[in-house]
Structure 1
């Protein structure tokens, strides 16, 4: 039982430290912590207290404290685990919005409050397993159903694989809990089966180590990388992925312009038609440039850097994004406060800007405002793209740069745009960060190092 306790609480600590802002990860940590309460309870009554009595090291006060820990651990295990597991499934499944999840978090605690008044705590804890069975087992079963459905409905193979690993890791101990902690105790008065739990935990531990070392699981990877994102970026170093994403964006823009050309042609107004045709030609030229940047038979994105004025790179990115901006009548405000040249691949950097501008336009309502700022610091040139759109959920901020992760319609979005931006910035030895609050807009910050030859 000490091994069970140490393992579960270690998992809880690792998950919370590794990814403290991820909601589903927090619920897994709470589940592990609650499950560890069972180990704590048994460790107190079967190990700690007898040991101290044998060596005459115990006092009435110490014994009372340890016995109370046993009671707390038992109640936490039987009542807290089903609640935490169901909340994890609700969060991880992605079927519920934030407001509904908050309401469920409070509503689903009602049985626990009820059990506080229907559990005997003196002289020793006596759990009412018939009542526990009536709500704990449904909680656990509903959680398993949610995880299974979210796995079956997932269309992106990378995420689908991760969901399968989560099922593989969580279902065995949950099924064990359903039978041993509730069914057997409620209807057969058979309590000794719980002693098989160390075997289950051992198998679970081996599975956990294999999964996190090979694939990563629930935000944890046992490697010496600085972040899981760095290892995940391998999935988007493929030139084909970058080119596919560019083509998707350009086709979307050509589609918008084609509709406008048809409209203007019907009105016999030649000036807008000429302008839109020029933009279409720019799009085709940009696609050809992207093809040139990808080596034949190579999986790496290739940079062809040179010195470019920051204002010209920004202006090109905005001009090539005008169809998206004009469609929603979005006002672009520029604050370029640097005359430095940036050593970069202008094609890829423009593509980064276009991705960010396109995302911003999709996040904003009509007549929104996009602010693009540029300035230089002692070590870097900084470009900020700030919108006044819907903002990003805090739980999504840690994942938006991951390959194939998207909060948009997956039938039309690959989840590669921001991952591509991250990859390009890393190849420039720079970085991209994001600041956002739900309902208050989003700011993406690009930083590109200033070279010693910058002013040449």
Structure 2
């Protein structure tokens, strides 16, 4: 049972270290931690105490302490796991508002308090399994139902897959817990089925690691990718700062010399040399512009925040691209909520983000393509979706789209920094940006900004700029 203890507490540690700010992830970690209590209890009575007795190194105080650990671990496993798992399912399902979750977090532990009086804490601990069955099993079953429902109602393909994998990880150990730790012990006095637990935990650990690394379970892989991208951005920003400084110094020298050559050639009427010197000056100017552009795209985003209307920012982004969209005969259709949505944000960076996404969508479509833009407010997020009917992106390329200098356009004038910049801006707004695509069908860019950034405003809706909701804006 030492393996069960190590495996479950390892999973708990991974979840807490990688994604500690995510509420469902924290409850999943607490579930694994309380589940590991059973391993701790058995490890004490079946491994640690016999070892100490064998080598005669046990003392009364040490033995008393270990027996307390045995009772604590067993009580935590039988009573704490159902509560933590149900709270995980409640938070993960997205069906409950924050206030209701806080109420449930305070009410659901009440049976645990009752079990303190129904449990014999004279070593070894003796549980009232029939009492445990009548509240623990409902907790676990309701949790499984919530996980199943949240999977079935999920419409986003990527999140639906993540929920499926989370269910695959959760169901086997919880079902085993229902059967082995509660049902068989409560009504059939079968005590030894739990010895199969190491096999169940082995499957759980392997499944968790494989799915977590390859696809993502409870945000684990998402955090890995985010850390990798954040580290890459820091390295790129540092490297380009050094490169920018060096190039500016050296190109500055070249410009001074080239300007002197041009002036001398012009005074001596050597037009060919003067013309060549002018070419050098133009080239150095272009080089400095390119370096500045790269530097601006990779440096840390510093927000200048204020309260701004989202559709107004989107309208300005559409205006910036109007000529380009008209040239490609792209039609833009918008669908926004019938109320003004004010956001605590940096309007300049957000507008540039929208602009980049719109241009990318237009470039991915044939002339006459359609771009659909929707803006809606949910209980948790402000969601902005840009959906085109272009050529789409392969699944292999989707993995690298936010990486600096990666581009699917393969053009000399493209630096592959547009989506990296967009990622950086949305991240600074505490949000997320996700790209879903299918070849020859189209691409959707989904931006989600947390509800905490939405603000109320006194302006009536009539004073907000109309961006042509459902009118078919032709860009």
Q: Is 2:24 the partner of 1:35?
A: no
- Aligned residues of 1:215 and 1:221 also touching (Cα < 8 A): yes
- Aligned residues of 1:290 and 1:347 also touching (Cα < 8 A): no
Aligned pairs for 1:306-345 (under 5 A) are: 328=340
1:216 is displaced (CA, Å) by 1.5
How does the TM-score come out when normalised to structure 1? 0.59
- Aligned residues of 2:137 and 2:178 also touching (Cα < 8 A): yes
- d(CA) in 1 for partners of 2:339 and 2:191? 67
Distance 1:353 1:83, change over 3 A: same
Q: Which residue of 1 aligns with 2:323?
A: 285
- Aligned residues of 1:89 and 1:144 also touching (Cα < 8 A): yes
Q: Is 2:472 the partner of 1:434?
A: no
- d(CA) in 1 for partners of 2:13 and 2:344? 45
Q: Which residue of 1 aligns with 2:160?
A: 160
- Aligned residues of 1:221 and 1:228 also touching (Cα < 8 A): no
Aligned pairs for 1:389-400 (under 5 A) are: none
Q: Which residue of 2 aligns with 1:104?
A: 104
Tell me the C-alpha RMSD between the 2 structures. Answer: 4.7
Distance 1:129 1:348, change over 3 A: same
- d(CA) in 1 for partners of 2:347 and 2:158? 40
Q: Which residue of 1 aligns with 2:150?
A: 150
Q: Which residue of 2 aligns with 1:10?
A: 10
- d(CA) in 2 for partners of 1:44 and 1:157? 45
Q: Which residue of 2 aligns with 1:374?
A: none
- d(CA) in 2 for partners of 1:353 and 1:362? 18
1:140 is displaced (CA, Å) by 0.4
Q: Which residue of 2 aligns with 1:351?
A: 355
Q: Which residue of 2 aligns with 1:81?
A: 81
- Aligned residues of 1:15 and 1:26 also touching (Cα < 8 A): yes
1:227 is displaced (CA, Å) by 2.2
Q: Which residue of 2 aligns with 1:141?
A: 141
SS in 1 for 2:127: coil
- d(CA) in 2 for partners of 1:174 and 1:97? 25
Distance 1:224 1:88, change over 3 A: closer
- d(CA) in 2 for partners of 1:429 and 1:157? 20
Question: Which stretches in structure 2 are left out of the alignment for 5+ residues?
Answer: 232-309, 360-372, 389-400, 405-416, 431-448, 456-475
- d(CA) in 1 for partners of 2:112 and 2:190? 24
Q: Which residue of 1 aligns with 2:189?
A: 189
| Aligned equivalent of 1:424, options 418, 425, 446 | 418
- d(CA) in 2 for partners of 1:124 and 1:22? 37
- Aligned residues of 2:92 and 2:147 also touching (Cα < 8 A): yes
Q: Which residue of 1 aligns with 2:95?
A: 95
1:429 is displaced (CA, Å) by 10
- Aligned residues of 1:286 and 1:347 also touching (Cα < 8 A): no
- Aligned residues of 1:219 and 1:228 also touching (Cα < 8 A): no
Q: Which residue of 1 aligns with 2:291?
A: none
- Aligned residues of 1:82 and 1:139 also touching (Cα < 8 A): yes
Question: Which stretches in structure 1 are left out of the alignment for 5+ residues?
Answer: 232-251, 258-277, 293-320, 337-343, 364-391, 397-406, 443-456
The alignment of Structure 1 onto Structure 2 pairs a total of residues equal to 317
1:426 is displaced (CA, Å) by 1.8
- d(CA) in 1 for partners of 2:52 and 2:353? 67
Q: Which residue of 2 aligns with 1:45?
A: 45
Q: Which residue of 1 aligns with 2:63?
A: 63
Distance 1:350 1:13, change over 3 A: closer
- d(CA) in 2 for partners of 1:330 and 1:222? 28
Q: Which residue of 2 aligns with 1:314?
A: none
Aligned pairs for 1:177-326 (under 5 A) are: 177-221=177-221, 225=225, 227=227, 284-288=322-326
What do the CA deviations read for 1:281-323 (whole angstroms, capped 9, x no partner)? 766435357999xxxxxxxxxxxxxxxxxxxxxxxxxxxx9x9
Distance 1:187 1:216, change over 3 A: same
Aligned pairs for 1:100-139 (under 5 A) are: 100-139=100-139
SS in 2 for 1:117: helix
Q: Which residue of 1 aligns with 2:235?
A: none
- Aligned residues of 1:185 and 1:191 also touching (Cα < 8 A): yes
- Aligned residues of 2:19 and 2:223 also touching (Cα < 8 A): no
- Aligned residues of 2:317 and 2:355 also touching (Cα < 8 A): no
Rg: which structure is higher?
Answer: 2
How does the TM-score come out when normalised to structure 2? 0.57
SS in 1 for 2:195: helix
1:19 is displaced (CA, Å) by 0.8
Distance 1:331 1:354, change over 3 A: farther
- Aligned residues of 2:2 and 2:39 also touching (Cα < 8 A): yes
- d(CA) in 2 for partners of 1:427 and 1:334? 14
- d(CA) in 2 for partners of 1:333 and 1:8? 41
- d(CA) in 1 for partners of 2:152 and 2:28? 21
